[in-house]
Amino acid sequence: MQYIRDLKKYHWPKGPQDAVRLMMQEPCAEIIAGGTELLVSGLKGKEVNNLIDITRAGLSYIKKDKKTIKIGATTTISELQHAPVFKDFADGIISAAAAKFVSVQIRNAATIGGNLGAAMPSSDLAPVLMALDAKIFVCGKENKEFAINGFYISKRKTVMAPCEIITEIELPLACGDDKTGYAFQKIGRTEMDIALVNGAAAITINAGGEVKNARLSLGSVAPNTIRCLEIENNLLGKKLTRELIAAACDNIAKAIDPKTDVRASAKYRGTIAKVIATRLIEEAYIKAGGKI
């Protein structure tokens, strides 16, 4: 689709199965939610003359039960930002990431499903959802469930098959006595820009201050959002100090593959990635109750 005037049909499916049926029926169709990515750059090189709008498919909700929080795929970034449940959950990193999502206009239209489905390395929600160990539910010929770690293959590519859509994101609620601290960071050229580098961390410690579990994710430093598994392993079983955190992040260059673009050079991104990783670990450790 070069221009909106080339569009032949605009569909409003009533539910996810209906959307999948339409995708199978219409070979030149594309899913649209907020349209903030699709209508700006997501249609480049694609032959699309049908849009399937899933914003009336019953996927706008945030529900909490005893073990999880479930977020429907068409929940907007503004809804995430202002939902009371996210003010306290995980030290507020979902609301914090949503608040950093450029402008009110974009936040009111953009959705969580579109953010994950676009599979851009600068996504602000992907690193947060990785730190939270989220699951992604997908509807297609059959229903599927994916861990977010492993959901991305490369830029604009996920493990989803054609004619599948994201329906829900599930967050586990922490259980047990160990304390977990969370942090989110984003560096952009200005407050109104996508990330040069972003990231999130979740650090769980025991009563003695030793790290029992660590998750660290970074965006905009590789073809898609990554978990820094080697750094996470370097932290396990240790009481953290500034020197120890710096040493754990020393080999970050091995984990990342930054690119030069109009926003920053690969070298700058590499340098910033180390700063962000260090800050994230320190902040999450302190929020978990650790002393540095």
Ligand X SMILES: Cc1cc2nc3c(=O)[nH]c(=O)nc-3n(C[C@H](O)[C@H](O)[C@H](O)COP(=O)(O)OP(=O)(O)OC[C@H]3O[C@@H](n4cnc5c(N)ncnc54)[C@H](O)[C@@H]3O)c2cc1C
Shortest separation between residue 162's beta carbon and ligand X, angstroms: 11
Per CB under 6 A, the segment of 98-106, 220-228, 230-238, 257-265 that binds ligand X is: 98-106
Q: Is 93 in the site for ligand X (CB under 6 A)?
A: no
User: Helix (H, G, I), strand (E, B), or coil: what is residue 14?
Assistant: coil
State the DSSP code for 89.
G
Q: Is 33 in the site for ligand X (CB under 6 A)?
A: yes
Calpha distance 42→56 (Å, rounded): 21
Shortest separation between residue 143's beta carbon and ligand X, angstroms: 13
Which one of residues 18, 30, 178, 257 is an interface residue with ligand X (CB under 6 A)?
30
Spell out the alpha helix ranges (H) of 156-259.
Answer: 229-235, 242-248, 252-255
Rounded (5°) CA angle 66-124-167: 50
Which one of residues 23, 98, 110, 249 is an interface residue with ligand X (CB under 6 A)?
110
124 versus 283: smaller Cβ distance to ligand X: 124
Q: Is 57 in the site for ligand X (CB under 6 A)?
A: no
Closest to 254 (Cα-Cα) out of 286, 279, 229, 236: 229
Per CB under 6 A, the segment of 117-125, 170-178, 224-232, 269-277 that binds ligand X is: 117-125
Q: Which amino acid is at 67?
A: K
Q: Is 194 in the site for ligand X (CB under 6 A)?
A: yes
Q: Is 137 in the site for ligand X (CB under 6 A)?
A: no
Please give the size of the binding site for ligand X, defined by CB under 6 A.
30
Q: Is 165 in the site for ligand X (CB under 6 A)?
A: yes
Shortest separation between residue 161's beta carbon and ligand X, angstroms: 11
Q: Is 128 in the site for ligand X (CB under 6 A)?
A: no
Beta strands, E only, 148-271: 152-154, 157-158, 165-172, 179-187, 197-205, 211-219, 226-227
Q: Which positions from 235 through 254 interact with ligand X, judged by CB under 6 A?
A: none
Q: What is the CA radius of gyration of the chain?
A: 19
C-beta of residue 200 within 8 angstroms of C-beta of residue 128? yes
Q: Is 38 in the site for ligand X (CB under 6 A)?
A: yes
Per CB under 6 A, the segment of 102-110, 200-208, 235-243, 246-254 that binds ligand X is: 102-110
3-state helix, strand, coil in the chain (%, to 5): 35, 25, 40
Closest to 123 (Cα-Cα) out of 101, 150, 138, 94: 101
Q: Is 121 in the site for ligand X (CB under 6 A)?
A: no
Q: Is 131 in the site for ligand X (CB under 6 A)?
A: no
Q: Is 148 in the site for ligand X (CB under 6 A)?
A: no
Per CB under 6 A, the segment of 36-44, 140-148, 250-258, 270-278 that binds ligand X is: 36-44
C-beta of residue 198 within 8 angstroms of C-beta of residue 127? yes
C-beta of residue 32 within 8 angstroms of C-beta of residue 38? yes
Shortest separation between residue 117's beta carbon and ligand X, angstroms: 2
Tell whether the torsion through CA atoms of 222, 149, 36 and 5 is positive or negative.
positive
Which one of residues 86, 101, 152, 182 is an interface residue with ligand X (CB under 6 A)?
101
The binding site for ligand X (CB under 6 A) comprises 30-38, 40, 42, 54, 73, 101-102, 106, 109-111, 113-115, 117-118, 122-124, 165-166, 194
